[in-house]
C-alpha cells in the first residue's frame, strides 16, 4: 500500500514550483493553483532505499508493513491511547468534534485555503525545503508541540529539516484508534493553538489542514482494511 503523502516523495517539484509562484495571505480567497492541486492528488511513490535509512531511533517506528503488534491493538491499549489524547486537549470537555467534511469529487480542485496550507508547508518564504530534508524517525519526535504523533501511534516513516527558513516535518504513522477520534484530536489541537482548520474528503482520504501566520499543517488520513488508521502528517513552522 502506498502512503498518500508519506515522505519527501510527496513534496513533488510541481508543488515547489507552485509555492514559489506567488504569495497567499491565507484568507482562502485566492485562486487555487492547479499545479499544487495536481501534485497533492497524485499517487505517491516512496523510495524504499531511503525510507529504511536512519533507524537509530527505532523505538519510534513500528515497521513499514502497515500493521501493528497485537499488544498495541487490544481494547485496553486503544482506550489508553484515547485517554492520553484527551489529556492533551484538556479532557473530554475540551475535545471538539471535527466538522463534517466537504466532499470533493476526484477532479474537483481543493479550496484555496487548503492550497495555501500546502504551499506554506513546502516552501515558506519561497525556499525549497524538500531539497533539504533528511530521512530519520527522529523527526517524528521533533514535530511542533501543537501536532504530535497521536498518543501511542506507531511511526512508520519520517523526514524533516530545519535548514534555513525551513522547519518541515513529514511523518507517517499508524494507530488503532478510530479515524474520527484521530481527526477530532488534531482539529482540537489546531483550534486551541490558533490555527485555522478545515475538513475535506477526497479520493478516500480525510484531509484536515490550516495555517497560523507562516506556520501550517496538512493531515491526510484513511482507515485501512485491517481497521488501523493510517495518517500522513505534514507540518511547517513551530
**Domain extents in the chain:** 8-236
Is residue 22 exposed (0-12), middle (13-18) or buried (19+ Cβ within 10 Å)? exposed
The set of long-range contacts for 21-30, using a CB threshold of 8 Å and a minimum separation of 24, is 24/112, 24/115, 24/116, 24/119, 24/120, 26/113, 26/116, 26/117, 26/120, 26/196, 26/211, 27/113, 28/111, 28/112, 28/113, 28/116, 29/112, 30/112, 30/116
CA proximity to 46, closest of 17, 16, 4, 18: 4
Beta carbons of 77 and 86 less than 8 angstroms apart: no
Angle formed at CA 67 by CA 64 and CA 73, multiple of 5 degrees: 140
Q: In this structure, what DSSP letter does residue 106 have?
A: T
pLDDT at residue 235 greater than cutoff 80: yes
Q: Which of 55-59, 87-91, 162-166 has the lowest mean pLDDT?
A: 55-59
* Reported confidence tier of residue 82, pLDDT bands at 50, 70, 90: very high
22 vs 109, more confident: 109
* Reported confidence tier of residue 134, pLDDT bands at 50, 70, 90: confident
Amino acid at each position: 500500500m502506498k502512503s498518500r503523502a508519506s515522505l519527501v516523495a510527496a513534496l513533488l517539484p510541481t508543488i515547489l514550483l507552485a509555492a514559489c509562484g506567488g504569495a497567499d495571505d491565507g484568507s482562502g480567497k485566492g485562486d487555487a493553483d492547479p499545479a499544487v492541486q495536481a501534485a497533492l492528488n497524485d499517487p505517491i511513490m516512496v523510495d524504499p532505499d531511503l525510507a529504511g535509512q536512519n533507524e537509530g531511533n527505532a523505538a519510534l517506528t513500528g515497521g513499514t508493513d502497515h500493521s501493528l503488534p497485537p499488544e498495541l491493538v487490544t481494547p485496553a491499549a486503544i482506550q489508553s491511547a484515547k485517554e492520553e489524547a484527551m489529556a492533551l486537549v484538556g479532557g473530554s470537555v475540551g475535545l471538539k468534534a471535527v466538522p463534517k467534511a466537504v466532499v470533493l469529487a476526484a477532479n474537483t480542485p481543493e479550496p484555496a485555503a487548503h492550497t495555501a496550507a500546502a504551499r506554506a508547508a513546502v516552501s515558506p518564504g519561497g525556499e525549497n525545503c524538500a531539497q533539504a530534508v533528511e530521512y530519520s524517525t527522529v523527526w517524528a519526535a521533533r514535530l511542533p508541540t501543537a501536532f504530535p504523533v497521536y498518543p501511542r501511534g506507531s511511526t512508520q516513516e519520517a523526514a524533516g529539516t530545519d535548514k534555513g527558513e525551513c522547519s518541515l516535518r513529514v511523518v507517517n504513522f499508524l494507530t488503532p484508534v478510530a479515524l474520527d477520534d484521530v481527526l477530532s484530536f488534531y482539529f482540537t489541537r489546531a483550534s486551541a493553538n490558533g490555527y485555522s482548520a478545515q475538513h475535506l474528503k477526497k479520493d478516500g482520504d480525510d484531509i484536515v489542514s490550516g495555517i497560523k501566520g507562516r506556520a501550517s499543517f496538512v493531515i491526510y488520513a484513511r482507515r485501512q482494511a485491517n481497521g488501523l488508521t493510517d495518517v500522513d502528517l505534514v507540518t511547517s513552522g513551530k
